[in-house]
Structure 1
Amino acid sequence: MGRHAYLIIAHSEFNLLKILLHMIDDERNDIFIHIDKKVKSFDRDYISREIKKSNVYFSDRINVVWGSVSQIECELMLLDMAIKGTYSYYHLLSGQDLPIKNQDYIHDFFDRNNGKEFIRFNCGNFNYYDRVKYYYFFINKIGRSKTLTSKTIRMLEKILLSIQSILKVNRIKNSNIIYQKGTNWFSITNDLAQYVIEKSNQILKDYKYTLCCDEVFLQTLVVNSPFINNLYHLKFDNDIHAIMRLIDWERGDPYIFRKEDYKDLLTSDMLFARKFSMKTDKDIVDIIYSYLCNDEGVKR
């Protein structure tokens, strides 16, 4: 029975994060957390106070900007911290995820599927080459920001992309790499985690100035390696069973679960779900917590 590492990326909803941590607090787990540098009033003690059984570690903090290589950098930083502990599995979660099975169930599932890699691939061939073949020089400065300055820079970025298209710029034209895309959340083995970190310098170099390649780098690395044979779900068909996470993209981007979804969540065969928000619906968080945890609960 192996130990697991939970890698958590969070930037808000710290009451929800506290509940997530309480639900994965187990002597078989350790927890590694990145809190976005943009967060000004972050109380580490507030976040970790409820952790009684797991070891909890906080990474250095960087400014994670949507769409930029900083998202990959954050994941690699957490993995690099965690692999020193040599865990059976490494689970990447956001601070707005929750387990929907208890830890005994989750550990038993991964014991039964030991050696399998839980990575989700989109359908068919990679059709997002614009993300990697052009240079996005300003994505690290604008992200999803809607300020006047960001809008101006975004317009400049579009002009530069048009120029690159006219000039037939293709930074990967001489590459023999097969590119693939999928969900960035994963559960991977120690062997793959070690392999990723061995390639980390090259990954950061290859995906600098690309767009949203936190959804590309791991899938691409795996599809060009022997680890492709170890996938839990072998088809490239968007099936969420590939990562055992209940995520609803049909009702949202993704949809935020609500109280009326409790039956779907509690009867699902998935292990985790996203996403949740205490601001949108606190009740569904309480329902899941009460169903899975029988102790005195989280004080908040």
Structure 2
Amino acid sequence: MSKIAHLILAHNNPVQLARLISRLQHPDADIYIHLDGKADAEQFTQLSKIPQVHFIQNRTKVYWGSYSIVQATINSFTEILAAHKTYDHINLLSGNDYPIKSTRQIHEFFNQHPHSIFMEYVTQNSEWWQKIKTRVTCYHLTDFHFPGSYWAQIFINKILPERILPTSLTLVGRSQWMTITADSAQYVVNYLRDNPKIRSFFRLTWGSDEIAIQSILHDSPFKDKIENNNYRYIDWSEQNASPKTLTMADADTLVNSTCLFARKFDLSKEPAIFDYLDKTFS
């Protein structure tokens, strides 16, 4: 049977996080939570008492659009891999995600694909890349926190030429959320450890959580194991910086989707959709 390590990046809403944990629990699953370093850990203490739930100890203060999201993920991969447990997959989720299949269906799916990586990406000739290419060609100080960083960023980009990737790595990207194999996670950890110039490049990239790990795996010996599908249902129809919050109006779409998980949800505003999904996939 396939063993899964669910890795949840969370920063708030301990009640909603507890509900997500309850839906993920399975004899062949462990749940790891990276709690944003800015969050009050005391609010989440009760969750650590749930069987098979582990909190990542090396917490990172996470800021939207910055390399800190990648760092939090790498710190988490490192601790999961050091746990000396045999996992087939590490499944990356946010605290705002929720399953849209039963736990049995999710585990059956991964049992059928023990060596596969499920990751959404597009290449640099895509429309998405044309829209976001300044993320990598310009300098971004999102990961640096000092007075005047915004103005320093403007000045740096006025006087310096466009950035060039320091290696032959081919950049791809799109969604941060993915399910990868344990050995491919170890590859990513080692790659970033052994390539400080690449690490520095991504640290100066805006939204590197949507590019860094994806590019490393796409250029790796694991490339042939990648299926370009992360099996997440995400609705960008509102064309905002964040996806639409899913409600009962989306219930039929979610139930009929081939995806395993969806985002995003808000228990405090739309509790009915949680009850519906729980009842449907109990």
Q: TM-score normalised to the size of structure 2?
A: 0.87
- 2-side partners of 1:7 and 1:41: how far apart? 17
Deviation for aligned residue 1:123: 5.3
- 2-side partners of 1:123 and 1:208: how far apart? 20
**2:100 touches 2:260 (CA, 8 Å); kept in 1?**
yes
- 2-side partners of 1:59 and 1:264: how far apart? 38
- 2-side partners of 1:199 and 1:267: how far apart? 39
- 2-side partners of 1:3 and 1:154: how far apart? 44
| Alignment-mate amino acid for residue 60 of structure 1 | N
Name structure 1 gaps, 5 residues minimum. Answer: 143-148, 234-241, 294-300
Match of 1:290 in 2: 279
Match of 1:264 in 2: 253
Residue aligned with 1:91, SS:
strand
| Alignment-mate amino acid for residue 210 of structure 1 | T
* CA separation of 1:68 and 1:138: change in aligned 2, threshold 3 A: closer
Alignment of 1:244-255 (within 5 A): 244-251=231-238, 252=240, 253-255=242-244
Residue aligned with 1:77, SS:
helix
- 2-side partners of 1:20 and 1:273: how far apart? 12
Deviation for aligned residue 1:39: 1.5
Name structure 2 gaps, 5 residues minimum. Answer: none
Match of 1:11 in 2: 11
**1:18 touches 1:48 (CA, 8 Å); kept in 2?**
no
Q: Where in structure 1 do 4 or more consecutive aligned residues deviate above 6 Å?
A: none
Residue aligned with 1:90, SS:
strand
Match of 1:140 in 2: 144
- 1-side partners of 2:137 and 2:124: how far apart? 19
Match of 1:239 in 2: none
Match of 1:63 in 2: 61
RMSD: 2.1
| Alignment-mate amino acid for residue 283 of structure 1 | A
Alignment match of 1:170 (pick from 163, 171, 181) = 163
* CA separation of 1:138 and 1:18: change in aligned 2, threshold 3 A: closer
Match of 1:237 in 2: none
**1:135 touches 1:209 (CA, 8 Å); kept in 2?**
yes
Number of residue-to-residue matches in the alignment: 271
| Alignment-mate amino acid for residue 157 of structure 2 | L
| Alignment-mate amino acid for residue 232 of structure 2 | R
**1:100 touches 1:266 (CA, 8 Å); kept in 2?**
yes
* CA separation of 1:104 and 1:5: change in aligned 2, threshold 3 A: same
| Alignment-mate amino acid for residue 269 of structure 1 | T
Deviation for aligned residue 1:139: 4.2
- 1-side partners of 2:44 and 2:150: how far apart? 35
Q: TM-score normalised to the size of structure 1?
A: 0.83
**2:77 touches 2:189 (CA, 8 Å); kept in 1?**
yes
- 1-side partners of 2:159 and 2:10: how far apart? 36
Deviation for aligned residue 1:131: 2.0
Residue 21 (structure 2) pairs with residue 21 (structure 1)? yes
- 2-side partners of 1:41 and 1:30: how far apart? 20
* CA separation of 1:191 and 1:105: change in aligned 2, threshold 3 A: same
Alignment match of 1:182 (pick from 174, 179, 195) = 174
- 2-side partners of 1:191 and 1:175: how far apart? 23
Alignment of 1:69-80 (within 5 A): 69-80=67-78
Match of 2:267 in 1: 278
Match of 2:89 in 1: 89
Residue 200 (structure 2) pairs with residue 205 (structure 1)? yes
**1:134 touches 1:210 (CA, 8 Å); kept in 2?**
yes
- 2-side partners of 1:32 and 1:5: how far apart? 7
